[in-house]
Structure 1
């Protein structure tokens, strides 16, 4: 079945406008106020695919946003009914499906028409002569109105208190980073001055150090770029481009910290290289590792996740690793003491996230940081790590 194009009349256009507005609010937590950037459009496309199992291209989403902000008779957007149904599925939180299953079981696109029906106006009610208002009626109306105002204000304050940070690192000027809330810890000037080597990306380097409390070594992450976390519950993610670690213990990722002196608890997740197998002879591998630390006085970490992604024992495997790490991302979600760790690895830049682990840990992170390091290994080479996108969203604690 070929997806039909919907040539919208004014009624359909209003329904589409309201639906797309709901999609934006569901994803970003605020109304559509300005055109979507490429990064925001790709993020939205990825969110829709992850939730629904169906694809709406990021360029289409970008065009829909631009059209709704500035409708033009000369250029109309006419999304297919299948696309409208996918957007409605996202809003209604429908179970994920596939295009094949939808065409088999729901070719009538029920979610779009269910949403559209909300805009069918009911018949006007019969006119009823108003009863004379008594003092009791007026007091009740005023009290009800004040109650609505207070409730609305509470909801507004709660929503306004949820922070949202999006940075695509189109500028890495130090003053711009500072203005947007970033702070730098343990600067290494020689490498920090190279942070803008790759246009529209932040370049970090796998420098010597680790936040692990190792005997004889002070915990250290050079050029740790970090920021405050305002909300107790949150979701954060980072995206890398073409980062392929190839020596012990080159790695990069996200770290959550109680403090920046590494005295308190911390959690980190990283993409890393490993060729140490306790005496067993095996080819090196690229893996995802997540670890939790209780801080100063605790020398042993808790390994939350150890997920091998790519064994590197042959040229074919090495080429596969390079291809699939063109776009790599981590996401960490926190609700109470529960942490959820996810990753995405793909030749394309809007691939879906997969869960690595869920873990409960008694930490209230005050900071989130972007890091690259190679542990306390002098012989391992320093390599660049290109960061192209960061996001932090405060969430309501459930």
Structure 2
């Protein structure tokens, strides 16, 4: 590793720490911090760097004169750069096949090299004795600050599900979580739609049940502020607790915090006799160790007392959509329901919640219930846009 590579590695690892922890390295990383960072990198990139290696890198960069040398492989450097630059999730096999030239590491290194050269070019012909030291300090400052001050690359992704082949979904960045092979093999049963099913499970921590959403389709989130949108066709839930919608997750184990919004059916009213209803519900979960959800929104849309009520509900749910907008810790939830496409969105609720979601998922579920039928849910469109934070 030459001097440029070592300097770039130093800046890159500092940027990795800033991305994960929000601060630079002031103390050696503990074992738990190293494991957390290793898990974060694997979640964000799909690639693995062992926690012991991360701990050693941190120790070396904090005290590079200790005599111990660290020479991470180019593959490791590329993985760190992919984490910082918010590259698409991949696997070692896919990287070896499509990106064996490790583009993210070299892009990062070249950016630092160019920034240093541009700083040198502004030096004046007359140089005091101390100018070399000053210029060196300016170069180091530029290298350290460049990536903290850069504009984030805003994510833009859409999918109309004209294909549901696994290769197509993979190219679009989708990650399938908790697959149920029987129902996942039926995902293409509606032409030009992705078909999910309201299967048994839920993402909240119920006593005696493990949190799980079968055939949860996840899209990694690259930006802190974003807008996510999903459109359904002809989804009319008719039994407890059939529902479908969007979920935001801090991790894929459901140990962290989450927020979801769904179109659902309910006929439980605490002993009161009332007709069943189709409603919009938004809930927040604090994750593992918290069995009670926090309800953000509960908006009844249709009461299903008569056959005519059910007919009107089905007509108005022919085209249904959700949108979630995030700015900082503020979330805005919107919906659209109409017999025709491209109908206007209406706000359901705004809510402040301390969560930095890493994934947005399209889901269908029926809670931890065996008796309720598995109902098909046709997904027509999805969109995810990164936005500048205000």
Q: Same fold (TM over 0.5)?
A: yes
> Could you tell me which of 142, 165, 179 is aligned with 1:173?
165
**Pairing of 1:381-396 with structure 2 (within 5 A):** 381-396=373-388
Partner of 2:87: none
Partner of 2:357: 365
Aligned residue for 1:386, secondary structure, equals strand
User: What is the rounded CA distance, in whole Å, between the counterparts of 1:241 and 1:180 in structure 2?
Assistant: 21
> Could you tell me which of 328, 333, 337 is aligned with 1:336?
328
Partner of 1:41: none
**Structure 2 residue 295 is matched with structure 1 residue 325:** no
Question: How many residues end up aligned between the 2 structures?
Answer: 246
> Could you tell me which of 269, 276, 283 is aligned with 1:291?
283
**Pairing of 1:254-333 with structure 2 (within 5 A):** 254-333=246-325
Give ranges in structure 1 of 5+ residues lacking alignment.
1-152
> Could you tell me which of 127, 145, 151 is aligned with 1:158?
151
Deviation at 1:158, TM superposition (A): 2.8
Deviation at 1:384, TM superposition (A): 0.2
Give ranges in structure 2 of 5+ residues lacking alignment.
1-145
Deviations 1:111-169 (A, max 9, x none): xxxxxxxxxxxxxxxxxxxxxxxxxxxxxxxxxxxxxxxxxx99xx637x001000000
Deviation at 1:361, TM superposition (A): 0.2
User: What is the rounded CA distance, in whole Å, between the counterparts of 2:171 and 2:336 in structure 1?
Assistant: 30
User: What is the rounded CA distance, in whole Å, between the counterparts of 1:276 and 1:320 in structure 2?
Assistant: 22
User: What is the rounded CA distance, in whole Å, between the counterparts of 1:317 and 1:383 in structure 2?
Assistant: 20
Deviations 1:189-219 (A, max 9, x none): 0000000011111000000000010000000
**Structure 2 residue 185 is matched with structure 1 residue 185:** no
User: What is the rounded CA distance, in whole Å, between the counterparts of 2:204 and 2:249 in structure 1?
Assistant: 12
**Pairing of 1:196-215 with structure 2 (within 5 A):** 196-215=188-207
Aligned residue for 2:151, secondary structure, equals helix
TM, length-normalised to structure 1: 0.60
User: What is the rounded CA distance, in whole Å, between the counterparts of 2:280 and 2:219 in structure 1?
Assistant: 23
User: What is the rounded CA distance, in whole Å, between the counterparts of 1:394 and 1:158 in structure 2?
Assistant: 12
Deviations 1:329-353 (A, max 9, x none): 0000000000000000000011000
Aligned residue for 1:319, secondary structure, equals helix
Aligned residue for 2:289, secondary structure, equals coil
Partner of 1:249: 241
User: What is the rounded CA distance, in whole Å, between the counterparts of 1:212 and 1:205 in structure 2?
Assistant: 19
Aligned residue for 2:312, secondary structure, equals helix
Aligned residue for 1:158, secondary structure, equals coil
Deviations 1:60-118 (A, max 9, x none): xxxxxxxxxxxxxxxxxxxxxxxxxxxxxxxxxxxxxxxxxxxxxxxxxxxxxxxxxxx
Deviations 1:161-188 (A, max 9, x none): 0010000000110011111110000000
Aligned residue for 1:306, secondary structure, equals strand
Deviation at 1:316, TM superposition (A): 1.4
TM, length-normalised to structure 2: 0.62
Partner of 2:110: none
User: What is the rounded CA distance, in whole Å, between the counterparts of 2:306 and 2:273 in structure 1?
Assistant: 15
Moved beyond 6 Å, runs of 4+ = none
User: What is the rounded CA distance, in whole Å, between the counterparts of 2:277 and 2:178 in structure 1?
Assistant: 30
User: What is the rounded CA distance, in whole Å, between the counterparts of 1:323 and 1:177 in structure 2?
Assistant: 30
Deviation at 1:290, TM superposition (A): 0.1
User: What is the rounded CA distance, in whole Å, between the counterparts of 1:390 and 1:180 in structure 2?
Assistant: 11
Deviation at 1:227, TM superposition (A): 1.3
Deviations 1:199-255 (A, max 9, x none): 111000000000010000000100000011000000010000000000000000000
User: What is the rounded CA distance, in whole Å, between the counterparts of 2:291 and 2:206 in structure 1?
Assistant: 6
Partner of 1:349: 341
Deviations 1:251-291 (A, max 9, x none): 00000000010000000000000000000010000000000
User: What is the rounded CA distance, in whole Å, between the counterparts of 2:328 and 2:257 in structure 1?
Assistant: 15
